[in-house]
Amino acid sequence: MSTLVYASTIEKGWYWLHRIISGTVLLFLVAPVLMVIPLSFNSVPFFTYPMSGFSFRWYEEFLLSARWQGGLQNSFFVAVAATLLSSVLGTLAALGLSRPNFPWRTAVLGIVISPMIVPTIITAVAVYFFYANVGLVNSYTGVILAHTAIAAPYVVVTVSATLVGLDNSLVRAASGLGAPSITVFFKVILPLISPGMIAGSLFAFVASFDEVVIALFVAGPQQRTLPLVMFSGIREQISPTIIAAAAVLVLFATAMLTAVELLRRRSERLRGIRGT
């Protein structure tokens, strides 16, 4: 504001115009989801305000109908399995890639990151063609493997970011004091990178939990995940239960990301203490 004291009228006008534009854009960014979620509490299946009454009936349908429950269970099962697999594979890979003089780093990193770059529809179709040949279409294994492939890069990137800040002298000190490398890993490295690992697995979980395009091609009626139930629901007829499911997904993602943010702060704080 202090700069405004010397500003001309035109400059003041620009200043406020800029703020108004930015505010509108921010509103455009958050309003759609925020405006839609309350409609899931509407007592009638209409999508306009004012709502005619408050009701949990759509959440009841979400929690009690076999279709949605099956979707939720499948999503959890697939996401947990994909998270476990991608976390183990991704953390090991991040540890390897962080070593100095890693051979063919660019090429290897390119392959490891590629599931993030290739458009999902291409991944989905390619995996579908492949699975059709090896008999993995309409199987849990197929969905889990494909989700692991797209979730693993998130783990690699997140854990690698933690490893950049890892003080290597701690590792050397432990080795110098005679700890075998397995002990060094479990007692020194793992506790230090655990915030990154947890954050990475949360990202992986969200990546699998929210994924719909690959599931659309690879999952059969038995493996329908929650986003898939939502997707086919919109195609048939949009119902407030879909919004209730969307609200649950939003709540979930928000909780996960709050956890990630808290972990990041914690690890920064820990590192700060160690640094001094």
Partner 1 sequence: MAATVAQTAGSEKNMLLRAELRRSERWGKLRAFALVLPLLLFLVITFVFPIGRMLFNAVHDDTLLTLMPRTTAALAAWDGNDLPGEQVFAALAKDLRDTWEQKTMGSVAVRMNYELPGTGSQFTSSARKASTLLTGPYKAALIQIDPLWERKEVWNFFKRGASPFTAYYLLRSVDYQYGADSQIVATPPETAIFRDAFLRTFGISVGVTAATFLLGFPVAYLLATLSPKSSNLLMILIVLPFWTSMLVRTVAWVVLLQQNGVVNQALVGLHIISHPADLIFTRFATIVAMTQIQLPVTLLPIYSVMKTIPPSHIRAARSLGAGSFYAFWRVYFPQTLPGIAAGCLLTFILCLGYYLTPALVGGPSDQMVGYFIANYTNKQINWGLASALSALLLVATLLLYYVFNKLVDVNRLKIG
Name which position in 79, 143, 149, 263 contacts partner 1 (CB under 8 A). 149
Longest dimension (CA), the chain: 73
For the CB of residue 163, give the shortest distance to partner 1 in the complex, in Å.
12
Q: How far is the CB of 74 from partner 1 (least distance, A)?
A: 15
The alpha carbon dihedral of 150, 151, 154, 160 has a sign of: negative
Size of the site for partner 1 (CB under 8 A): 77
Site for partner 1 in 181-200 (CB under 8 A): none
Task: Report whether 152 contacts 205 (CB < 8 A).
Answer: no
Q: How far is it, in rounded angstroms, from Cα 69 to Cα 94?
A: 36
Q: Is 16 in the site for partner 1 (CB under 8 A)?
A: no
The amino acid at 241: T
Q: What are 71's two structure tokens?
A: 């979707």
| Residue 4 binds partner 1 (CB under 8 A) | no
Binding status of residue 71 toward partner 1 by CB under 8 A: no
Which of 40-64 are b and which e, b meaning 16 or more Cβ less than 10 Å from the residue's Cβ? bbbeeeeeeeeeeeeeebbbebbee
Candidate ranges 57-65, 166-174, 241-249, 268-276; the one touching partner 1 (CB under 8 A): 241-249
Query: Site mask, partner 1, residues 206-225, x = CB under 8 A?
Result: x---x-xx--xx--------
> What minimum distance in Å lies between the beta carbon of 126 and partner 1?
4
In the complex with partner 1, the residue whose CB is nearer, 149 or 195, is 149
Tell me if 127 contacts partner 1 by CB under 8 A. yes
> Which of residues 193 and 242 has its CB atom nearest to partner 1 in the complex?
242
How many Cβ atoms sit within 10 Å of the Cβ of residue 267?
19
Q: How many CA atoms lie within 13 A of 112 on its CB side?
A: 23
Point out which residues pair with 54 in neighbouring strands: 42
Q: Does 121 bind partner 1 (CB under 8 A)?
A: yes
Q: Does 262 bind partner 1 (CB under 8 A)?
A: no
C-beta closer to partner 1: residue 178 or 274: 178
Select 198 or 243, whichever has its Cβ closest to partner 1.
Answer: 243
Among positions 230, 241, 263, 267, the unique one binding partner 1 when judged by CB under 8 A: 230
CA angle 221, 227, 229 (to 5 degrees): 45
Instruction: Tell me the backbone φ, ψ of residue 54, rounded to 5 degrees.
Output: -100, 135
Does residue number 115 form part of the binding site for partner 1 (CB under 8 A)? Answer: yes
Site membership for partner 1, residue 35 (CB under 8 A)? yes
95 to 114, contacts with partner 1 by CB under 8 A?
A: 95-97, 99, 101-103, 108, 111-112, 114
Q: Does 80 bind partner 1 (CB under 8 A)?
A: no
User: What's the CA gap between 215 and 223, in Å, rounded?
Assistant: 8
Centre a 10 Å sphere on the Cβ of residue 152 and count the other Cβ atoms it contains.
27
**Nearer CB in complex with partner 1: 14/56:** 14
The Cβ of residue 230 has, within 10 Å, a number of other Cβ atoms equal to: 20
Closest to partner 1 by CB, 3 or 274: 3
DSSP-based three-state secondary structure for 166: coil
Q: Which of 4, 16, 65, 92 binds partner 1 (CB under 8 A)?
A: 92
